Structure 1
Amino acid sequence: MRKCLALLLLIPGMVMAAGSNYPLDDVDIDLTDQASLQNGAKIFMNYCLGCHQMQYQRYQRTFNDLGIPEDLGQQYLQFTGEKVSDYITSPMPAEDAATWFGAPPPDLTLVARVRGPEWLFTYLRTFYAEEGKTFGVNNLVFPNVGMPHVLEPLQGTPRKQYNERMVDGSMQETNVFELVVDGNGALSPDEFDATMRDLVNFLEYTGEPSRLQSEAIGKKVLIFIVIFFVLAYLLKKEYWRDLK
């Protein structure tokens, strides 16, 4: 309990903290979409796990819930020789991470529950190049972000492109801008958005792995209560009829 409490307190003040009123985009979360969850797990293991970890989530639980055979999961989603029963931890030493980033990157087990899927979906898609920053990038959702754009090989390099308008006979830049990707990424814009949806879907799953099971049990409990209520009501009527 203390570890979970500490995590909730640390995440807002560290790498994933938000300090912007940038409008958030909707994202279609579907925890029954197993293909999406599997792809999200693959993206997390390949692009996020180098810095971040999920120290409250086990590989074995993840593979079983997502329908991934354990041998394939160990072959393609475990890279540092952990056991399938181990927690999902980052190979990066915490001391080195603190030196390089100013603070250890936060654990992401509960980040979707803390920040919300819309925040994550928008954050992952709004990095842009900016000279003078430590890692050469900034973020619209989290200004002065303290992490590199690790998904740049997939997205390409987004840049701010300011619109222009005629002022006193000459064209001048306005404060209105849009992010323009240079097209050197492995995915198209639509494909990248779909991939980020899968990643957020996976992060939403890890925030509450038993959610679908709990909802299924909850439905059964409600059905039981309704049936019990009907039987109890009929029994009451039968009992009081003899007392009249």
Structure 2
Amino acid sequence: MKTNMIKKITAGLAIAMSLVGSVYASEGGVAWDKAPNKITDMAALQNGAKTFSAYCLGCHGAEYMRYNRLEDIGFTLDQIKSEIVNTDAKVGDTMRSVISPKEGKTWFGVAPPDLSVIARSRAGANGSGADYLYTYLRSFYRDPTSPTGYNNSVFLNTGMPNVFWEQQGDHKAVFEEVIVDGNKSHHFKGFEQMTPGSMNPEQFDQMVGDLVNYLQWMGEPVQSQRKTMGIYVLIFLAGFIVVAWRLNKSYWKDIK
């Protein structure tokens, strides 16, 4: 295990705390931002895979993805070994979490969920699963009443702290009091920067966007090929209809 694995496990544990609970975003809550769609951008997918390895694999697995499948997004086997694999796993193994399901169940009451198809499973009326993840991971703010010290405007009372606080810095949420039908409620207005992070907002959004793109790609690595094949099939069927129509006309022309 590498020297920074403790930090990665901590981040993974934090993510597990969030995902073992409900991850439903209220339909009447904060609107989801549109996630960047870069599932054909090899550089973005590689950056996302590195972030996934550093901050997710501590607790979560991706049992439907093998390390060597990352060759599809431009990694060499040597790069996978040195930049992605953080345990004694082989490149032909599936992406298993550092902790065991038994340990996860002991710590959290339930084993941390597998992330193989997390981006495909979180779609809702507000947008795609990628939109949800992209908005959620960028919507943390300081909350001294929370056990973790953080809350999230998309997933209120989340059990997950901001694992990217070093990159993003700390924010506080700004609420305004509104009265609806005589009842007072607090409406989320926006964020206010408290302390800067190691990245500026554009860099941070790009890092999260790359991670979400990787999660989206991992849910179906052949989706780009599938869409391309679908176009070819439709073109073939359009041409075949003409051929079939002409053949049918020729076959029946002497029959009255």
TM-score by length of 1: 0.83
| 1:153 aligned residue (166, 170, 175) | 166
| 2:100 aligned residue (63, 74, 93) | 93
Residue 137 in 1 paired to residue 150 in 2?
yes
User: Alpha-carbon deviation of 1:162?
Assistant: 4.9
What's the counterpart of residue 171 of structure 1?
none
What's the counterpart of residue 201 of structure 2?
189
Contact 1:15/1:105, CA 8 A, preserved across alignment: no
User: Alpha-carbon deviation of 1:87?
Assistant: 0.7
Contact 2:49/2:214, CA 8 A, preserved across alignment: yes
Residue 128 in 1 paired to residue 128 in 2?
no
* Matched residue type, 2:222: S
What's the counterpart of residue 20 of structure 2?
14
User: Alpha-carbon deviation of 1:217?
Assistant: 1.7
Distance 1:47 1:79 in 2: 11
Pair 1:102–1:189, CA change in 2 (3 A): farther
Pair 1:139–1:97, CA change in 2 (3 A): same
Residue 239 in 1 paired to residue 247 in 2?
no
User: Alpha-carbon deviation of 1:110?
Assistant: 1.0
1:203-242 alignment to 2 at 5 Å? 203-242=215-254
Distance 1:101 1:132 in 2: 21
Query: 3-state DSSP class of the match of 1:215?
Result: helix
Distance 2:246 2:161 in 1: 66
1:71-90 alignment to 2 at 5 Å? 71-90=78-97
Query: 3-state DSSP class of the match of 1:182?
Result: strand
Distance 1:178 1:145 in 2: 18
Residue 202 in 1 paired to residue 214 in 2?
yes
Residue 45 in 1 paired to residue 53 in 2?
yes
Distance 2:19 2:73 in 1: 31
Distance 1:163 1:18 in 2: 24
Aligned residues: 223
Residue 66 in 1 paired to residue 79 in 2?
no
Distance 1:207 1:233 in 2: 40
* Matched residue type, 1:243: I
203-212 or 13-22, which deviates more = 13-22
| Shift >6 Å, 4+ stretches | none
Distance 1:191 1:220 in 2: 38
Per-residue deviation, residues 176-228 of structure 1 (Å, max 9, x unmatched): 54212334322111111111111111111111112112112212222221222
Query: 3-state DSSP class of the match of 1:236?
Result: helix
User: Alpha-carbon deviation of 1:55?
Assistant: 1.2
User: Alpha-carbon deviation of 1:139?
Assistant: 1.0
Query: 3-state DSSP class of the match of 2:252?
Result: helix
Distance 1:69 1:16 in 2: 37
Percentage of pairs with the same residue: 40
Distance 1:19 1:98 in 2: 24
User: Unaligned regions of 5+ residues in structure 1, if any?
Assistant: 1-11, 165-173
Pair 1:226–1:175, CA change in 2 (3 A): closer
Contact 1:117/1:204, CA 8 A, preserved across alignment: yes
